[in-house]
Amino acid sequence: MDNGEMKQKLLQLREQLQSTAATRDGSAQVVELDQSKVGRLSRMDALQAQEMAKASVARSQRALIQIRAALERIENNEFGICQHCDQAIAPLRLQVDPTVLLCINCASAEEDKS
């Protein structure tokens, strides 16, 4: 997969995220509007659902930031280079997640630390 294809994949991912994030924003609002009409228990359910919706919107936003960064790296010809050791990241790893910043060695070293 070359950088052009990777860029297409990232743009596709971004579109998917943007459409689902918009849907979730919508459902979070609906819950808010219904709060006065529902009982106490279901209100708690509704609040919980709203928190979950908010959390997934936050997740989508983080992913969107990562995608934007990956697109910038393609533009700067830095894409696929480990930010830690400057070695090429395995193409298979990039296919699974084009937004990864570290090669497998550095990524597992990071995991060991945390």
Residue 100's closest CA among 69, 76, 56, 75?
69
Least distance to Zn ion from the beta carbon of 66, Å?
Answer: 17
- Distance from C-alpha of 8 to C-alpha of 3, rounded to nearest angstrom: 9
Asked whether position 104 contacts Zn ion by CB under 5 A, the answer is no
Binding residue (CB under 5 A) for Zn ion from 38, 55, 85, 88 = 85
Asked whether position 93 contacts Zn ion by CB under 5 A, the answer is no
- Distance from C-alpha of 108 to C-alpha of 114, rounded to nearest angstrom: 10
Least distance to Zn ion from the beta carbon of 107, Å?
Answer: 8
Least distance to Zn ion from the beta carbon of 110, Å?
Answer: 10
At 103, is the secondary structure helix, strand, or coil?
Answer: coil
Asked whether position 14 contacts Zn ion by CB under 5 A, the answer is no
Asked whether position 71 contacts Zn ion by CB under 5 A, the answer is no
Tokens of 27: 């459902």
Asked whether position 100 contacts Zn ion by CB under 5 A, the answer is no
Residue 60's closest CA among 93, 95, 28?
28
Least distance to Zn ion from the beta carbon of 105, Å?
Answer: 5
Greatest CA separation found in the chain?
A: 58
Applying CB under 5 A, the residues found at the interface with Zn ion are 82, 84-85, 103, 106
